[in-house]
Amino acid sequence: MPAFSPPFLRRLLPRQLTAQLALFTALMLLFAIVGHTLFTTLKQAEKEETALLNNMNTQLQNLAVSSAGFLLTRDYSAVERLLLLSAHHSDIRALRVVGNNHQVVTQVLHTPGQKPQAVFDFLTLTPPANPQPIWLDAQGQTLAGHAFTWKADRLVLWRSLSEYGYNGALQLEVGTEALKDDLSNLIRDGILFALIAGSLSVILLIGVLHRPVRVVREAARFAGELTSKLGEQMPEYKGAAEIEELVNALNETSLWLYTKEMSLSAANQRMEAVFGNISDALFTVNADAMVESANAAACNLFGYAEHELVGLSAAQLLPDWEHLAPAEGDDKVQAETTALRANGRSFPADLTLSRFTLYGMPYRIAVARDISERKQAELHLKRTTSRLSALIENLQAGILVEDEERRIVLINRAQCRLFGIQATPESLIGQDCAATVEVMQTQFAAAGSFPARIDDILAARQTVVGEELPLADGRVLERDFVPIRVAGADYGHLWQYRDITPRKQAEASMRQARDVAENANRMKSEFLANMSHEIRTPMNGVIGMTDLALDTDLTPEQREYLDLVKSSAQHLLGIINEILDFSKIEAGKLTLSHEAFSLRPMLEETLRSLEIRAKEKNLFLTLEMGDELPKHITTDPGRIRQVLVNLIGNAIKFTNQGGVSVSVDRTGCEQPDCLHLCVRDSGIGIAQEKLGSIFDAFTQADGSITRKYGGTGLGLTISSKLVGLMGGRIWVESRLAEPPAREQHPGRPPGGPSHSWGGPANDLEGHGTRFHFLLPYSPLDSEEGEEEAIVITGLNILLAEENPVNRKLAITLLEKLGHRVRVVGDDEPAVAAYAPGHFDLILMDIMTPGSDGMNALDQFRAIDAANNNGGGQRTPIIAITSQSERRDMEGFQEGRADGYVTKPIRFDELKREITRVIMET
């Protein structure tokens, strides 16, 4: 019994510890079981309440789903039957359906022990806005809160039917008798269990404590006799932990004097184990400067056996011992010194000396480490740093290295020289970089933004290379920034400044020279393009009048002379076309048309135009076309014809025997709408080293070729550019080989199923050159490609042409087509002579010197608009132009001209264009 217990408790409580513990345990157990019972009852009440709510809400949900349809159809008898079936649940007391006017539509009441009954009543109920559970007492009063209490007699649940289309609600009343019965049984069972458990616990506790209490009494007696029984021990006890600890403590106290020496010995052994396994050399020195103990690492470092090292003077290991030993006030000294091995050799050592006291005696413990490798590395680093410093000092670029606190670590003389810093690099080391930046800032053209830019670069910590910085004196510097990182840690920044003023001046000079060259090239291209009209106007007269003369009755000698004139003119026109096309390609002014045409007739017509040249050299000329090719396609037929004429013309030029073959298929095409065209010959071939430059401008395989065969060297270049503009690709295969002699086949005119002029295509295998090009196209239905042969005659045509030769040629061609022609000089007389309704067509040269063709076209359209009051009728206009103006045709045809023909005017082209324009307008 505690001494501080009240007197009445001391009288009531039993004296024996066993009885006190039994009573206390019984009371505690009783309180615990009762508390647990109450807690369990509350939890069970919550669970049963939750289960009741879930069950009833489910019932209400199912009832709402089932009754909604009947309510919407006003089948209240079906609703009543449904409520009667649902009310058979033992806990349900009432089910009601409330309409939109808060009147009870139907209700079913269920009294315990009786069947549910439908009861008619003029009852008015208002569904709550918030459908929470409502608990009612026996008098029907609503209880506070939404949780179950013992006063609750009924549970009321509401369910809105608005989500099912009925403006009303369901009410469900549930009795709480079953819930209260379950809780009452739980409380009664818990109290009964507490009483039984308490009684059994008291009986069991007395039996369990009998042996421990006996041991406690024996321990008390042993403790009282301990001074006379040192070394003796109580019998071992296995039971309660506290009593077991008490017995063990008494036994340990009895053996303390005996175990003290054993404990000290074990401690010494542990110390020696730690001491001997340290990797650094470790030894202790006593007050007499003698080594008293040493580990294995110390023996290995100094080259002594352990028995030799112990007892040795510390000065024999460390010659500077007297200077290294800690003074009286120092507990620890760390230094680099020289140590001696047993063989007399010295080595650099890192030494740490610490002072400690043992049993009142002063001792020093020394930790030594061989730093020979580190010293060698430092020496190597020093030499490397010296070379690096020399290199940095001799750099033309300015170098500035700073640490993370922006203190200068390294700066060279070039940096000081670039920015006019008067201090020496050595004096700036270790200083704050801010002062140096202020001096540098004054040199820049944008001095105000210089510090902010430095801060932005440092904040981003990203490498910056080649940032250009103009200075106030006109110089330009280039800056690099590199953040210094080692193993993921930041150690500073490297800045490098280079004077790039000479380079910028050179770049400016190069740009100026390039601009001059580009301007000159542009002027050349524009000059050549603008000369097209002036060149083609006389050529139109020469070729046109020659064609007209050849259509007359001539003597053989006259016809021969005119054929030579026409051939020379055509050759000259080809050279002019190549030069002008090349100039337009260089100027970026060459455009492509997009026309529908028949593929085979175009190819046959192209080969037929070269037939005479092949016949002159006794060469055969063949065309091979695959069966899978389309009949009609949409692309630029004129440019395809130009490429083929260039390639076939070259093949004929450089082939002396054999022939030339053109094949068309889909080999190598990666898309469906694509053609593969190949021009093969059995000519002299091209050396492999020349194939790479064969498409370069003004380039031929050999300089002697120009002297022997002629040509400008632009044909393949133009062909390559045209194929590229059409979205295709061109390449060449060739080898130098001498073809075997064979029988020569004379040429024959085109026709027949073979599409061959002079010989078979298989005679070309393995000889000469092959030009391939892939050409994409737009597909076209066959019906779209067919053109009806229509010839229009008898038109009244107003012709505006100043050149007398071209005027004569145009008049002759138009009259041959059966038209009537009125001729005027240029655009002004043409506008003056024009009267709407008097002419069916206007044919006008839009590039007449001293006139404005565009302005004349606008005047014609203005006259038409005024005459028709803005209506759509107008006289069609065909413009006469050269190829260089084809790029302007889209502009002419946007509300101005309806078509155009190019010089030199060809009879068939003029006839087709007149027919097309008249038919369309």
Q: What is the DSSP string of 590-655?
A: -----EEEEHHHHHHHHHHHTHHHHHHTT-EEEEEE-TTS-SEEEE-HHHHHHHHHHHHHHHHHT-
pLDDT value at 195 more than 50: yes
* Mean pLDDT of the region 376-381: 78
Q: Domains in the chain and their CATH numbers?
A: 21-185 (3.30.450.20), 261-370 (3.30.450.20), 375-499 (3.30.450.20), 591-785 (3.30.565.10), 796-920 (3.40.50.2300)
Q: How far apart are CA 185 and CA 188, in angstroms?
A: 5
Structure tokens at 260: 């003290």
Tokens found for residue 578: 């190549």
Confidence of residue 258 (pLDDT cuts 50, 70, 90): low
- Which carries the bigger pLDDT value, residue 79 or residue 681? 681
220 burial (CB, 10 Å; 0-12 / 13-18 / 19+) is exposed
Better pLDDT: 748 or 436: 436
Count of residues making up the chain: 921
Residue indicated by tokens 């590395």? 377
List % helix, strand, coil for the chain (3-state, nearest 5): 50, 20, 30
Of 474, 353, 477, 343, nearest to 417 (Cα)?
Answer: 477
Asked if residue 896 lies in contact with residue 878, where contact means CB atoms within 8 angstroms, the answer is: no
Residue 8: is its pLDDT beyond 80?
no
Q: Is the entire prediction scored with pTM above 0.75?
A: no
Using 50, 70 and 90 to split pLDDT, how confident is the model at 605?
confident
E-assigned strand segments in 777-816: 778-779, 796-800
Amino acid 665: pLDDT: 93
What local confidence, expressed as pLDDT, does residue 143 receive?
A: 78
Cα separation, 347 vs 367, whole angstroms? 15
The residue with tokens 């396609």 is: 633
Q: How far apart are CA 541 and CA 549, in angstroms?
A: 12
Q: State the pLDDT at residue 762.
A: 47
Q: Output phi, psi for 50, to 5 deg.
A: -65, -45
| The 3-state secondary structure of 454-509, one letter per residue | HHHHHHHCCCEEEEEEEECCCCEEEEEEEEEEECCEEEEEEEEEEECHHHHHHHHH
pLDDT tens per residue across span 650-661: 889 888 889 999
- Euclidean distance between the first and the last CA atom of the chain, given in angstroms as a whole number: 132
Please give, one letter per residue, the 3-state secondary structure of 527-565.
HHHHHHHHHHHHHHHHHHHHHHHHCCCCCHHHHHHHHHH
Predicted pLDDT of residue 97: 86
How do residues 71-84 score in pLDDT, each as one tens digit? 888 887 888 888 88
> If you search the block for the tokens 């085979």, which residue do you land on?
600
Q: What is the pLDDT of residues 112-163, one digit of tens each?
A: 878 888 887 777 787 887 777 887 777 777 777 777 777 777 888 888 888 8
Residue 86 · residue 61 · CB < 8 Å: no
Least confident of 293-307, 535-549, 778-792, 799-813: 778-792
